[in-house]
Structure 1
């Protein structure tokens, strides 16, 4: 027995997210909202091509929401919900309906820029907007610069607000590629990333030509523009308008006097009383001198070998946007041409296979603008190319230079003798050149055994943990760099001696043992009896729990412990031991030496 009341309430379906269009993969919540009464039981159905299909077996109070997880296009359609309450009679609400549209592709946002794309100078305000061209409801917008790992944070000079990202005062650091994305829902559903928009922020240098454009919302072709610097109107005769609408102000040769805040406003030519609001503004900062570029070299080696690859980079620590780079070798009359084995690419100049003819002094400078503005020349960088001799009988084409560098093995700790249990580091040191790959081998009874499968840059050090006597022997390291030809260093060698027991130091006394009196000076020395290199010495008195501290009258210095003015309290048994290495290796304790102090000899 169903009953229909005269004031039968209306059901409304509310979506979360609250959008007209959903996208495949989103989670969508449909809520059945009945504002009148309580105790409703909810039923859901779906209209598929005119056929009404129930989504639940019966109406229950727990079914107020119908959740669609990871929706697909096939979930599109008309959804109906209705409430009922009571028993005999059952009171029903009017049904609520909603047409759900599911799009098969993720939304693709688009970035727009205001002012429109063009040259932007330091100090200007610029706003980037992220838009879908569809329903913006419930989206949270995310902004990225250069990399997609981290979102752009809010700072004093840049801030996000809804779908906009505003830089209030552009700086060189704001140059870069910007992307945006959006997310919505409790379990976030993400759009794809937008295509990148590149911001190029330019500094102004003396003698450059600068053009500013006045942007007025809803501007008319009938505007006449006025320009102001720091609030003072600029005379018309100094404005060189380069556009039909007269909306540009051009500084032909900038100097520091042109620095300041530029603003503009429009006035209708046929209605002089009608003025626009203040238009766009820009803070212009003119630097005190021309930029001077700095040349760097990769690999950073003074001497290169024929056949190696080298890249020179031209930079000035500022914004590289808009610069074209020019390269010179020896004289400054002609730029360096591109050839089969040397080529410029942006701010880089790469020689893929150096030859003796590439030796010489290199400089660079840069230019930008339609009427080119040139930077100063860089200081010179000298390339020295050494000739190599090829060993034709080696299939991998190993090359040996006349001034082939020598590899040296350096030990840590820096000692000729090691002891069982110590950790020993062998480092392959090649002082000339860079980019070396290191190989290690060991000579055991005349048989040379490779310690690694191949040479790599990470193998500069070979570490021996907790050495044993069996680790004694001859070790060799060698460096190689480049490809076809491979350039090799002379190998370095070292004979490692490992002793089977811990060293036991011996204490000696100066003056030699005998009766000591208060006030006398006495020095105890701790000797290992072998190579003292790298050892740190520890002193103990009576107990081995604590080391002897430095005081006004007693002090350690290397392997010595000196009492400058002996007192009765200095009487006792003294021991020493030694430690070395980053993870300390300790010697045994010495045998004790007893000091007996007597009162003054009358």
Structure 2
């Protein structure tokens, strides 16, 4: 009589198939199950169909409530450990062997293991570094939540479904001992090993030249310096960030320069220093404020401008109410330069004409290079009218005539003065001829004053006498060997009696 194949037994969670030939060997090498896992025992028969009988042989014989080819244990516990046996029902066929095979199920506690993952060769961790801690737990991970604990606290520091915990920006306060475990409902795995996290501080300094606030067009220079453990280091990589966005990264320069700063460069700046095997450290933030620069062009005279007028354009710039003239200015008419590279912010046209009409703009050359332009002013020159003299031309004409008038006035004043002196001189000469006589003392020491009366002509015999006096200022003594020096004569007034005309 031909015998049928013996029954086969498989445990799906170990992915080990037991056949008639290797059942005994496989049962010795089967993998354990862990608390909380779902375990399925599968009893395969060479003939399909029929009913199966399941038994747990240890620690005591127990008939299991299953007649199918599989037997599933949901979320096994330690009490589910033991030896299991399956066999076919005797009533299925009288010629099929019902001698079953056994398998031993071992349920163990879940163990966890915590690993630190960094980008540094020696495992160092510095402020603002990013690190990952991964919690590995034995058994099937489906449905389990991972907990990260700090300094052996009962309450979790972090709890999540993913096994990897990421720290994007480490701080000094996050240094300490960490471990992890897994949880599923009321079931917990064992705690993992402890990992000590040490966070090192690096002294990184960011310096700005010049300091904030700044105005548009200024030149900004940021210098990043690093000092760790009392000594500086080379072979570093420097990164400059504005509002946490990298704007420059260099392994050769610790300086970040902006030649001509603009309003959109306002923000919080930080620098980071990265050393191979030593991590990355960040400086404190520096707030850079860029103030808008306003350039204004004004024109005088305003309103209607006539041919021949004097036109003046004034260019000014301001930042928050303050102004300065220590810049270069240029003036443009219809996008064509009419005055360039001047340190004087005024452009004048003495006598304008129709060709000077157009759109005027001024520009301020910024310290860092480039130019900041003003508003545009439209100037229209009107033709000179015959019926009137423009105010500007009249003013220019007045300035030309005024010096001539002053010279003419001065000429007449000088002429009158010369005439008066001539008359006085003439009267003096006549007085000497008919009037007073000045004589010198015999010793030459003092002048003598003599007064004589005027002898009038025959037609004035009845006229009272006219007295004319002369005062002489002579030196008190005469030095021997030197000529006598006559001083100027001082004349008194001529007294003429009433009714008598003075001599001419």
TM range (shorter): 0.3 to 0.5
Compare the two structures and name the one with the higher helix fraction. 2
Larger-gyration structure (1/2):
2
Normalising by structure 1, we get a TM-score of: 0.28
Compare the two structures and name the one with the higher strand fraction. 1
